[in-house]
């Protein structure tokens, strides 16, 4: 069985400061891990994915995430927040090489960016 926990429902940062969105996962076998972003009234867009290659994954818009097996974590970071980063972010897990029907979504973290 797989599960994912996003540790914060809301994160507030100032523009230009670092962003950290936390995600812990549980998987009985090698996982694939994803971060998706959802802007208001839009669908989800893939930010980045981990699929058993490099543990540090770079995504779009300056985001990156590090897979830490010992900590079962896949936290999302960005060195400097921009106003356009304000959105909801979802951490997602599935078994490596399994179908999308095995995707498990976290409950989301809303990122607020103030000027």
Partner 1 sequence: NAGVTQTPKFQVLKTGQSMTLQCAQDMNHEYMSWYRQDPGMGLRLIHYSVGAGITDQGEVPNGYNVSRSTTEDFPLRLLSAAPSQTSVYFCASSYSNTAYNSPLHFGNGTRLTVT
Residues lying near partner 1 in the complex (CB under 8 A) are found at 9, 32, 41-46, 49, 51, 90, 96-101, 103, 105-108
Nearer to partner 1, 81 or 108 (CB): 108
Mark residue 90 as left, alpha or beta (left: phi above 0; alpha: psi -120 to 50; beta: remaining). Answer: beta
Nearer to partner 1, 17 or 60 (CB): 60
Q: Cα separation of 59 and 23, whole Å?
A: 16
Contact status, residue 3 vs residue 102, Cβ threshold 8 Å: no
CB of 104 to partner 1, least distance (A): 8
């Amino acid at each position: 069985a797989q599960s994912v926990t996003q540790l914060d429902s809301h994160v507030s940062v100032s523009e230009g400061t670092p962003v950290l969105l936390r995600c812990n996962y549980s998987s009985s076998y090698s996982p694939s891990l994803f971060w998706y972003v959802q802007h208001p009234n839009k669908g989800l867009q893939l930010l980045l994915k981990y699929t058993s290659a490099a543990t540090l994954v770079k995504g779009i818009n300056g985001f990156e995430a590090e897979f830490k097996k010992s900590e079962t974590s896949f936290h999302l970071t960005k060195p400097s927040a921009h106003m356009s980063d304000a959105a909801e972010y979802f951490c997602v897990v599935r078994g490596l090489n399994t179908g999308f029907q095995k995707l498990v979504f976290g409950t989301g973290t809303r990122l607020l960016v103030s000027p």
